[in-house]
Amino acid sequence: MRDFNKRIPVGTPVRYYPVADRSEFIETKTRSDAWALGDGSVVVKIEGRAGGVHIDHVFRLPVNATSGQADRRSS
């Protein structure tokens, strides 16, 4: 969680994949730091969605996002 917050601070452009292992995504921005739920899941708020989304579905956009691929190493 701390590592995620360091690499993807509030306001960072990201791609959110609503369904894991699917190619559909939404380009958005984070609007909170990540936090742990009672069951240990770590979530973050993003623009355009209510509540928190699991950080495994959120990937930082590369600085040059013309490649068409999100940097999945940055989740």
Range of the domain at 64: 2-74
Tally DSSP H helices, then E strands, for the chain: 1, 6
Rounded CA-CA distance 31/46 in Å is 5
Rounded CA-CA distance 8/24 in Å is 21
Res 70: pLDDT: 53
Q: Residue 31, Cβ neighbours under 10 Å: how many?
A: 14
- Between CA 20 and CA 59, with CA 6 as vertex, the angle to 5 degrees is 20
What ranges in 1-75 are assigned the alpha helix state H? 2-7
CA 11 from centre of chain: 11
pTM exceeds 0.85, yes or no: no
* Per-residue pLDDT tens digits for 11-65: 999 999 999 888 999 999 999 999 999 999 999 999 999 999 999 999 999 876 5
Number of folded domains that form the chain = 1
